[in-house]
A and B are shown apart, each in its own frame.
Chain A
Amino acid sequence: MTSTAKSSWPRTRHTGAAAVALTAATALLAGCSSGDTSDNPLEEEKAEAGTVVVGSNNFAESTLLADIYGEALRAKGLKVTYKHNIGSRETTYGLMKNGSITVLPEYNGSLLAYLDPEAEQESPEAVNTAVKAELDGKLTLLDPSPAENKDSVSVNAETAKKYKLTASSTLADLKDVAPDMVIGGSPEFQTRRQGLEGLKSVYGLEFKSFKALDAGGPLTQAALTQNEVQAADVFTTDPTIVKEKFVVLGDPENLFGFANVTPLVHKDALPPEGVDALNEVSAELDTETLLDLDAQVQLDKKDPLDVAKAWLKSAGLV
């Protein structure tokens, strides 16, 4: 009796599972093909009116900057909500355009390289003008801050020793050794101009392979320290550069351009007093300050919001 029940059980479950799978697949396909007008299969919601939504990209400094700008807005009596750690620029730019985010801490030159990969970058001001020309009509850049944090190709101490690379070495010096090296970076580094594309076209570097890590975060730091990758995209304000003795390679062709911290804002959703508040913050922020604040968050593991509030207070901005 038991055996009859047992042998028929797997078969019924089998057919049932197949039916469920088929139904699910049909529903999925139907759902996706109906959205033909947009090239984005993901649904995105609009920000609530009257609320300033401050977003950030998926790395520690972006979160910190978003907190700094957000708290400055809150001090002016605006209603602020945060959307942290969203993803790469490829994602957040789309969310800015459709109004899901009102304010996003950006890096002017990196944003320009995303909007127009071929653009020349001569000075932070020229970069800002060029970005504004390329931006979607609903968006604008505010004043660039003196604080700068750009992408860099950095090698770990072991690799630097092996190939005799020093602080005065540049990307051009990698030409002969790159085919022996694995380079790491965020997944988007693989397809960006300020990434593998540019390293190949500007410096003629072709690495052995690319390992997708994160945007200058713990994965990158660990992979570089443990020599899983020999070179990686490391942000110049990363406190681990000093701690782990990474060597930042020079960029004589200015591939990584200028990367001054600059808020990208949605014009209609941010009132004028908000614009003033953000510009005041940017004016106060410099690279040294940013390095110090980053170290507090990444090395001392302090809460970014606390660090942001403390700095705003000490700078007399709130």
Chain B
Amino acid sequence: MNIFDFAHAFFGDSANWQGYDGIPQRFLEHLQYSLLALAVAAAIGLPVGLLTGHTGRGGNALAFIANAARALPSFGLLVLVVLLIGFGLLPVMIPLVVLAVPPILVTTYEAVRTVDPSPVDAARGMGMPESRILFQVEVPVALPLILSGLRSAAIQIVSTATIAAYVSLGGLGRYIIDGLYQRDYEKVVGGATLVAFLALVTLVLFWAAGRFTVSPGVRRR
């Protein structure tokens, strides 16, 4: 048996495509956990990043907090949170959000801070209010980098959401964990392949989002 046989056997079995343990259901659960975590992380990371990047203040503190958060092991944090507050979706969301906030926060801050100062000065000289400077001058120029931060956060979430299965939630990690306990390598390989596939899809989606939202003027440079 090589890895392709395992994958072939897993995806070829029609029983794996239906019911509460079927691929569509597990895929949907995984997507749901990932999107929720990304939305919460973006809701925290983006405003703080934009604000600190625009004012140029708090950068050092930000870098310190973000690096500290990056050093937290998601798996350890998950088990700790479960022990503290019990089971459910919340204890899974906490490590995923903690994992995703730093890349969003740091890249957003850096992206806005390093925008070429001359158009910003020009806008300010013309009397633009600060909020319009941020959203109409700085953000469009910083967008490629901001998107790359969101992208790495999304990919990290998609691959780490597998740990939800360890505390009895669903998602694609279910196949990996169940397969190891049942000594069913078809399941393990199938689950791992699906997670990798979802990560690649995420990559493509962000690339497409960049094509459509980044101003051509910024992209060409």
Contacts and interface: CB of A to CB of B under 8 A. Distances in A.
Contacts of B148: 10, 13
A200 to B, nearest CB: 14
Contact of A2 (B3, B87, B116): B116
Interface in A1-36: 2-4, 6-7, 9-10, 13, 28-29, 32-33, 35-36
Contact of B168 (A10, A190, A223): A223
Interface in B169-192: 174, 177-178, 180-185
B219 interface: yes
Given A33-B3, A90-B183, A191-B182, A209 B219 contact: no
Nearest to A58: B181
Please classify how large the interface on chain A is, using the bins under 10, 10 to 19, 20 to 34, 35 or more.
35 or more
B3 A219 contact: no
B35 interface: no
Nearest to A5: B114
Contacts of B181: 87-88, 90-91, 186-188
B9 to A, nearest CB: 12
Nearest to A28: B3
A190 B182 CA distance: 8
A85 interface: no
B183 A94 contact: yes
B165 interface: yes
Contacts of B3: 28-29, 32-33, 41
A39 B9 CA distance: 14
A226 B141 contact: no
Interface stretch (A63-71, A210-218, A270-278): A210-218
A2 B115 CA distance: 8
Contacts of A7: 144, 218-219, 221
Interface in B62-91: 86-87
Given A3-B141, A10-B145, A187-B178, A36 B87 contact: no
Contact of B184 (A10, A186, A191, A212): A191
Contacts of B165: 212
Contact of B114 (A2, A13, A35, A39): A2
Contacts of B212: none
B202 to A, nearest CB: 13
Nearest to B144: A10
Nearest to B185: A41
A219 B167 contact: yes
A7 B177 CA distance: 41
Nearest to A91: B183
A228 interface: yes
Given A7-B144, A90-B183, 18 more contacts: A3-B141, A6-B145, A7-B218, A9-B145, A10-B145, A32-B2, A32-B3, A33-B4, A41-B3, A87-B180, A90-B181, A94-B183, A188-B182, A190-B182, A210-B21, A212-B165, A219-B167, A226-B87
15 contacts: A2-B114, A6-B114, A6-B145, A7-B221, A28-B3, A29-B4, A90-B181, A186-B181, A187-B180, A188-B181, A191-B184, A209-B21, A214-B168, A219-B167, A223-B168
